[in-house]
Amino acid sequence: MLLEACMQVFTPTCLGLIVLGVVVGIIFGAIPGLSATMAVVLFLPMSFGMSPTNGLSLLIGLYLGGISGGLISAILLKIPGTPSSIATVFDGAPMAEHGEAGKALGAGILYSFIGGLISIFALIFISPYLAAVTIKFTPVEYFSVALFSLTIIASLSGTSLLKGLLAGVFGIAISMVGMAPIDSVERFTFDNFQLMSGFDIVVILIGVFAVTDIIMSGFGRQHLDDNYEKAKYNLNGYGITMKEFKEQFGNMIRSALIGVGIGILPGIGGNVAGLLSYTATKNASKHPEKFGTGIVDGIIASETSNNAVIGGSLIPLITMGIPGNTVAAILLGGLTIHGITPGPLVFQKSGVYVYAIFLALLVANVVMLVVERGALKWFVKLLDIPKHILLPIVMACCVVGAYASNSRMFDVWCVVLFGLLGLLFKKLSIPTTPLIIGFILGKMTEENLRRALQASNGDISVFFTRPISLAFLVVAFVFVIYTLRKSAQAAKLKESE
Amino acid sequence: MTEKQKNFICSILFFLFGLFMYIQSLPITPVVGKDLGSGFMPKLIAVAIIILSVIEFVLTMLKKKDKKKVSSNSTDMKGGILTIVSIASYALFYDYLGFLLSTTLYLFIQMVILSNEDNRKVKTFAIISIASSAVIYVVFNNVIGMQLPAGILEI
């Protein structure tokens, strides 16, 4: 079966489609407002007309390229090109300011490859074992996982814990607009049918991360081009020395494992994986205060883990038919159209295609490593375009992206409104990242809490008696205490100064 | 604005939002038996927002006077407001004027707003505006096959 898969993947057409997918994916990933998800959505109808192997290979190339392209704009434009690269901005932007854009890019690409590779091996070798655990998950476990993830809000809040928490709960509040889970009661729609399905995450991300920045550039137009002086970059190979590679080995493995783990859990995507690994690396580091000032550790954590999500998100997809994130959900559609039903029996029934997916992933990963590094010169050229010309074009792409997600004007207006909201947040020094995390996890938390309590007749002890759930809650609790202590220490330090 | 003023505004805005959200979620009652109902989480979150904003308000009150003022000299109010107005008008007229016309106009105006006397090359801006909206249009309409609004240019 493996041989047959090889014969299907290693054809000029299929390899050509993988390269096309990766290149288009990188471009979509790099342009803010166009995401990996969108690239896969746009090409999905095109893949229906191809053979299953060709179609799936194209989609996989797009997925991998899309996730890997985000780091380019995260570093060069300070705007995450795709939600997965949010955490890359934290250290990528300061590194570019210090003239280390080349190193940041090189390390980002190399560790994207490594993260992808580790996760593909995880997918191939350990998927049956991991599937055996997650298949037993009930809403009780899902709630605890969501609650655990929400505690990240606290540690990501920067200097002001309270403002971060406020932004986080505000994110949860906006996620409640539209039809409620379980009973489909309309909430906060104010009789506007456009609000029935709630806000699209793409719309919020484009608004808060891109439009806000463009408006801010209007306020700072006098200094627009001095901030964006072309960062000189000097890059040999991938910018990482053997010594650094050895130093970062623990970081790499930890981030890859977090990425694979997050990928497996349904509903949580690369953005959360990147943020979680960033936080974990920061907390484990001997010099956590350097994070955010431009050190390569942050880039490695974020980029290793967001690519590690790729393989992880396919584990529950292939073995159980449960997509690990939005892109995996679209891939599920691609599989079903070609008559492949994911599930425990998929290896017997459609084994060839499963092996073809594995091979396409490995090939796409190598193509990404070569193409993104090889064409880096052209990507860095983005910096040559003056900001007063580039930013308006970015804005036009944002509007196209917002319109494209649902083909409705309502989303375009929402992008502008969220841009203004982001501006208000910036002016009041409120962090915006917790808003996004709150939004992503809000729905999941509520739905699973309600489902779990329905099943237990309102008995909350279920969350503490089931071992996996208890473990996540304990970790969440420890995390909160740890963050509170750290922030108290930081406040003391500030006062004594 | 000092850091203290910012915190006051922040806590008052969130307090009002939390209050509004709580009032709005009061009429939501459980429909399905044995369920918390769709009103439970909104109320919980609203209360959390109110509590956090009150803590923020009190802590800001207790804080000693801020020594350093956040300088506002560097911000260019005119540039910011013009940018907001042009983005808002772009979004408002996007559908009516169609992608090509609205984007070309927006790109040109925004480039003029963001540039300064030294680098304001009106001719270059016009060419880039027309070319980039045409490229985006062709890529989406003809290559990807996703329709962008044609607006009044549609015959």
The residue of chain B with its CA nearest to that of A39 is: B144
Residues forming beta bridges with residue A178, ordered by sequence position: A187
In whole angstroms, give the CA distance from residue B6 to residue A486. Answer: 24
Cβ atoms of residues A291 and A282 within 8 Å: yes
A398 and A33 Cβ atoms separated by less than 8 Å? yes
Chain B partners within 8 Å of A449 (Cβ): 36, 41
* pLDDT at site B17: 95
Looking at the partner chain, which of A187, A400, A453 has a beta carbon nearest the beta carbon of B42? A187
Residue A112's nearest CA partner among A135, A78, A90, A84 is A84
Residue A285's Cα: distance from chain center in Å?
A: 23
Report the distance separating Cα A115 and Cα A107, nearest Å: 12
Instruction: Find where tokens 């808002």 sit.
Output: B88
Helix (H, G, I), strand (E, B) or coil at B150: coil
3-state secondary structure (DSSP) of residue A186: strand
Residue-wise pLDDT for A439-479, tens only, equals 777 877 888 899 898 888 888 898 999 988 898 899 888 87
Q: What number of other Cβ atoms are within 10 A of residue A149's Cβ?
A: 23
Find which of B2, B16, B35, B114 to mutate to test the A interface (most A CBs within 10 Å of its CB). Answer: B114
| pLDDT at site A218 | 87
Residue B83 touches chain A, beta carbons under 8 Å: yes
What is the distance between the alpha carbons of residues B47 and B44, in angstroms, rounded to a whole number?
5
For residue A178, report the phi and psi dihedrals to the nearest 5 degrees. 110, -160
What is chain B's mean pLDDT, rounded? Answer: 86
In this predicted structure, the answer to whether residue B11 has a pLDDT above a threshold of 60 is yes
Give the Cα separation of A116 and A260 in Å (integer).
9
Q: Which residues pair with B114 in a beta bridge?
A: none
> Which residues of chain B have a CB within 8 Å of the CB of A442?
45
- Distance (Å) from the alpha carbon of A299 to chain B's nearest alpha carbon: 30
Q: Can you tell me the distance from the alpha carbon of A261 to that of A451, in angstroms, rounded to the nearest whole number?
A: 23
Are A95 and A294 in contact by the 8 Å Cβ rule? The answer is yes
CA distance A289 to A218: 31
Nearest Cα residue in chain B from A190: B24
Dihedral (CA of A394, A400, A405, A408) sign = positive
Q: What's the number of CA atoms in the CB half-sphere (13 Å) around residue A406?
A: 17
- Judged by CB atoms closer than 8 Å, whether chains meet at A388 and B17 is answered as no
Structure tokens at A229: 């002086």
Q: What is the pLDDT of residue A229?
A: 46
Q: Which two tokens stand for residue A37?
A: 């998800």
Identity of the amino acid at A257: L
Torsion angle in degrees (nearest 10) through CA of A180, A183, A189, A190: -150
What are the phi and psi torsion angles at A185 (to 5°)? -70, 140
Compare all CA atoms of chain A with the CA of B63 and give the residue at the minimum distance: A495
For residue A58, how many C-alpha atoms fall within 13 Å in the half-sphere facing its CB? Answer: 25
What number is the ipTM of this complex?
0.92
pLDDT in the model for residue A228: 46
Which chain A residue is nearest to residue B124, measuring alpha carbons? A389
**B50, pLDDT greater than 90:** yes
Question: By C-alpha distance, which of A351, A311, A301 is closest to A120?
Answer: A311
| A382/A391 Cα distance (integer angstroms) | 11
Residue A480: predicted pLDDT = 81
CA dihedral sign, ordered B32, B33, B39, B44: negative
Task: Suggest the residue from B1, B7, B10, B141 to mutate for an interface test with chain A (most A CBs closer than 10 A).
Answer: B10
pLDDT tens by residue, A79-133: 777 778 888 888 888 888 887 888 888 899 999 999 999 999 999 887 666 666 6
Q: Which residue is it, tokens 């009106």?
A: B122
Biggest CA pair distance of chain B: 69
Interchain contact B89–A (C-beta under 8 A)? no
Bridge partners (DSSP) listed for residue A179: A186
Both tokens assigned to A494:
């500030």
- Collect the ranges in chain A with pLDDT lower than 50: 227-230, 267
* Residue of B15, B75, B83 to mutate, interface with A, max A Cβ within 10 Å: B83
The C-alpha atoms of residue A62 and residue A71 are separated, in whole angstroms, by 15
Amino acid at B1: M
* pLDDT tens, position by position, A386-431: 778 877 887 887 788 778 767 788 989 998 999 999 999 988 888 7
pLDDT of residue A95: 87
Q: Which residue is closest to A168 within chain B, CA to CA? A: B49
Q: How far apart are CA A446 and CA A467, in angstroms?
A: 21
Cβ separation A392–B41 shorter than 8 A = no
- Look at residues A263, A242, A353 and name the one whose alpha carbon lies nearest to residue A9: A353
Please determine, for residue B74, whether its predicted confidence score (pLDDT) is greater than 70.
no
Determine contact, residues A218/B82, Cβ cutoff 8 Å.
Answer: yes
Q: How far is B154 from chain A (nearest CA, A)?
A: 17
User: If you compute the radius of gyration of chain B from its CA atoms, what whole number of angstroms results?
Assistant: 24
Determine the Cα–Cα distance for residues A369 and A255; give it in Å rounded to an integer.
19
